[in-house]
Amino acid sequence: MNTKLLARYIVRETLGVIIMAVALFWSAGETAWWPAWAATGLTLGWVIATAWVILSSNPDLLAERLGPRKGAKSWDTVLLGILGLSQLARYIVAGFDHRFGWTGGFPLAVQLIGLALGILGYSMIVWATAANAFFSQVVRIQSERGQTVVSQGPYRAVRHPAYLGASLYELAVAFLLASWGALALGALNVLLLVIRTFLEDRTLQAELPGYQEYARRVRYRIFPGVW
């Protein structure tokens, strides 16, 4: 194991969780807000679970996720930038909503359901990561790693199961944080994920041998029975 790569990965992921927590608690104006702690803990749990899966099952994926990312699509860079800003804005809006009571909040039961669905969404992403040794964070064909079509695990049901999990989380966390404004941004994020899925799937069909045949077997991209 390359300890420098591992250290870089830990620093990057830790900073991401810290930025999320700061956005939530700064905008809320207090730290005594349990949904924010729950959302932060959920994200931290996902980061730890993802790291464990990569290190135990696909350690080569660590270097892939840290770059360099030769062949990455320019449209993907733009989409990821917009998505990252929208996700950060979602936490800030949720914090201000809690602070100033813009939309009145949600019942506790709805928040707990949001937490449960958020756990389910992140669990699906971790499962997809464990099943796919080529689970990069950017859209590119990893020819130098001998990328092949992955069809096991959740990829038997849909072609992009991680996007299904991410879409579920994007909506669920807004219910956990009890914010209609955050839900609107979450819906925007789901739309961005759908666009990215369409473009990624088109790239794979054009550039990855065997993917067209796989797409004929597994009809749905993200949402089973829908699309």
Would you say residue 226 lies in a domain?
A: no
- What pLDDT, on a 0 to 100 scale, did the predictor assign at position 103? 85
Candidates 75, 64, 88, 61; CA nearest to 198 is 75
- What pLDDT, on a 0 to 100 scale, did the predictor assign at position 194? 97
- What pLDDT, on a 0 to 100 scale, did the predictor assign at position 68? 66
Would you say residue 151 lies in a domain?
A: yes
CB atoms within 10 A of CB 88: 14
How many structural domains is the chain composed of? 1
Would you say residue 208 lies in a domain?
A: yes
Task: Enumerate residues 6+ apart whose C-beta is below 8 A from 160.
Answer: 197, 200, 201, 221, 222
Would you say residue 149 lies in a domain?
A: yes
Would you say residue 222 lies in a domain?
A: no
Please give the model's pTM, rounded to 2 decimal places.
Answer: 0.93
Question: How far is residue 39 CA from its own chain's centroid?
Answer: 14
CB atoms within 10 A of CB 212: 12
Would you say residue 44 lies in a domain?
A: yes
Would you say residue 224 lies in a domain?
A: no
Residuewise pLDDT in 10s, the chain (227 residues):
577 888 888 899 999 999 999 999 999 999 999 999 999 999 999 999 999 999 888 888 888 888 767 788 989 999 999 999 999 999 999 999 999 998 878 999 999 999 999 999 999 999 999 999 999 889 999 888 889 999 999 999 999 999 999 999 999 999 999 999 999 999 999 999 999 999 999 999 999 999 999 999 999 999 998 99
Task: Enumerate residues 6+ apart whose C-beta is below 8 A from 59.
Answer: 1
Question: How far is 176 from 63, CA to CA, in rounded Å?
Answer: 34
- We report the CATH number of the domain holding residue 173 as 1.20.120.1630
Buried b (16+ CB within 10 A) or exposed e, 165-202: bbbbbbbbbbbbbbbbbbbebbebbbebbbebbeebbe
- What pLDDT, on a 0 to 100 scale, did the predictor assign at position 195? 97
* Structure token pair of residue 57: 């099952």
Would you say residue 191 lies in a domain?
A: yes
- What pLDDT, on a 0 to 100 scale, did the predictor assign at position 121? 97
Q: 132 lies in which domain range? A: 3-217
Question: How far is 200 from 207, CA to CA, in rounded Å?
Answer: 10
